[in-house]
Amino acid sequence: MPDYKSIDSKTVEGRRTAEKLLLLKFELDKVIPSKTVDPTLLLATWNIREFGGTKSGGREEEPLFYIAEIMSRFDIIAVQEVRDDLDALDKLLQILGSWWKYIVSDVTLGTQGNNERHAYIYDTRKISFGGMAGELVPEMKKDGGVLKSDFAFSRTPYIAGFKAGWFKFTLCTQHFYYGEDKADDPQRLKEAQTVLKLLKKRMQSKDAWSGNSILLGDFNVFSLHDETFLAIEKEQFHVPASLKGTYTNSNRDKPFDQIAFLARDVEKQLGLARAGTFPFFDHVYRDADWKTYLPNKTFNEYKQWRTFKMSDHLPLWVELFVDFGDA
């Protein structure tokens, strides 16, 4: 379990944090399967809004404790919107414990890149980093003897190889371009089509790091009818049946985030795999807590403020069976 010894029960904030953590632990126990030593892998993706940023005062210890408690329920988490400053990430790892590690991408520069990183946070008691990590870029074409590309991602996808027992897998996390507040922004759709084609091509190579590829992250999908979502199935990637249509934004009205598999070792179980989200605002920073935190602000201001403490996205997870010993 995470390290909570720094909580000061003599303060109002400390007592509140301890009480909320107890409630959070109880609710997580009801929703998320228990971690195991060998048989299963609990994989998650979570866009944590401006993680490491300073808006609304940044993140104090209280929300970091809640985020750590949620993360501790998984074996590996792909995180989007990690900012240039890694102090918050380092503090989170201190709470999680010394057996937790992370690897991060560099920031993507430019207006669209928003100085964001991608991160993988993983429990080394279960997961080992395979040594392969890098950014996924579109293929270059030769033009008059010069290599050129006519397309670039707003935020560069981050790919890395991991092992969990018998299961060797490649993760690719991405935060697709949002653009206009509508389904199928042209650039967003192009990014989805491009990353899926690149991953599929890598999986078909005899030199692929593994035969199991998982694309996960913030796809900014508005509905399952979006061309952005349909591109997943067109390239033979599979979304677990229990995740299709799951709302992952904090307002719970859009399936923004996705986990999609082109993974021969686990594809047969995706129809029955346990999966879901965790609506943390039902338990911490609740609607009913408005006056506790921001007594001099409006309710709408409070709802916006709390997304910079936790997030405006929910964690999305899936449980996989990865003990192939019988086979």
Rounded to whole angstroms, how far apart are CA atoms 313 and 318?
16
Give the distance between the most distant pair of CA atoms in the chain. Answer: 71
What pLDDT sits at residue 299? 98
- Tokens standing for residue 185: 């922004």
pLDDT at 113 over 80: no
How far separated are the first and last CA of the chain, in Å rounded?
Answer: 33
Burial of 56 (0-12, 13-18, 19+ CB in 10 A): middle
SS3 289: helix
Mean pLDDT of the residues in the chain: 94
pLDDT category, 324, cuts 50, 70, 90? confident
Rounded to whole angstroms, how far apart are CA atoms 317 and 31?
11
pTM for the whole structure: 0.96
What pLDDT sits at residue 137? 86
Q: Note the pLDDT tens digit of each residue in 209-248.
A: 899 999 999 999 999 999 999 999 999 999 999 999 999 9
Q: Note the pLDDT tens digit of each residue in 4-52.
A: 999 999 999 999 999 999 999 999 999 999 999 999 999 999 999 999 9
Rounded to whole angstroms, how far apart are CA atoms 287 and 302?
9
Rounded to whole angstroms, how far apart are CA atoms 123 and 74?
8
Closest C-alpha among 239, 158, 141 to residue 199: 158
Residue 267 phi, psi (nearest 5) = -60, -35
Non-local CB neighbours of 294 within 8 Å, separated by 6+ positions? 301, 302, 305
- Tokens standing for residue 79: 């995180």
Closest C-alpha among 290, 309, 281 to residue 88: 309
State the DSSP string of 115-155: TEEEEEEEETTT-EEEEEEEE--PPPEEETTEEE-S---SS
Q: Note the pLDDT tens digit of each residue in 115-155.
A: 899 999 999 999 999 999 999 888 878 777 777 777 889 99
Are the beta carbons of 317 and 277 closer than 8 angstroms? yes
Beta strand pairing status for 40-51 and 76-83? parallel
What pLDDT sits at residue 52? 95
C-alpha distances out from residue 269 to 34, 183, 230, Å: 18, 30, 21
Burial of 293 (0-12, 13-18, 19+ CB in 10 A): middle
Question: Which position has the token pair 């309710």?
Answer: 299
What pLDDT sits at residue 234? 95
Crossing angle for the helix pair 61-71 and 12-31, nearest 10 degrees? 20
Tell me how crowded residue 44 is: count the other CB atoms within 10 A of its CB: 25
